[in-house]
Amino acid sequence: MNQTLLLQELETLAAQLGVEVRYEELESSGGLCRYGGKLCLIASRHLPLAGRIRLLSRELGRLPLEGVFLRPSVRELLENRSEGQREL
């Protein structure tokens, strides 16, 4: 799967999980946070495509994904990136 499609899959997954993805001016790469009672994933708009994929896969991998359909390649990516992370 090419990187553009992979990023789209991750952004779609975020929406299914109720996570708002926002690209903002940040000094860091970004991360997952609670804001106003909901989950937001805020990412630096300056991150290259590969950096966005790393960030989204790491942060979304921290969330419970049982019962959510994922392509096997996406599930593997999330599981590998989230190793050692705890649920939010």
The encoded tokens of residue 26 equal: 């940040």
Which tens digit of pLDDT belongs to each residue from 27-78?
899 999 998 889 999 999 999 999 999 999 999 998 988 888 899 889 888 8
C-alpha 85/C-alpha 81 separation (Å) is 9
Per domain, the residue ranges of the chain are 3-80
The more confidently predicted of residues 14 and 77 is: 14
Read off the pTM: 0.86
